[in-house]
Amino acid sequence: MQGINLDTLQRIADEHGVSTFDQQVFIERGLVSKNDLIKILGRGELSAKLNVTAHAFSATAAAAIEKAGGATSTIERKGGPLKTI
């Protein structure tokens, strides 16, 4: 599983005006390959309103995204979604 922190999302939002993050955006930005599972982690500050789709979210990351006015969506995979911890 490939972890991506909030500070990385904020930097990309600031530098490139991205507000919606999904697997394709993560691949285009070179953060993951097409077969990676993606987990959003809570390191860093988030001020941008972002809509983020990933395989899993840490509880801290999910809370920060929602606090900033954004939304989280979980990518379904074989065997069901990964558990948020």
Residue 85, pLDDT score: 53
Residue 7, pLDDT score: 97
Q: pLDDT for 58-70, tens place per residue? A: 999 999 999 999 9
Q: pLDDT for 22-54, tens place per residue? A: 999 999 999 999 999 999 999 999 999 999 999
- The pLDDT-based confidence of 77 (bands split at 50, 70, 90) is confident
Please write down the long-range contacts of 61-66, taking CB distance under 8 Å and 24 or more positions apart: 61/5, 61/6, 64/6, 65/6, 65/40
Q: Which domains does the chain have, with CATH numbers?
A: 2-74 (3.100.10.10)
Q: Is a pLDDT exceeding 60 seen at residue 82?
A: no
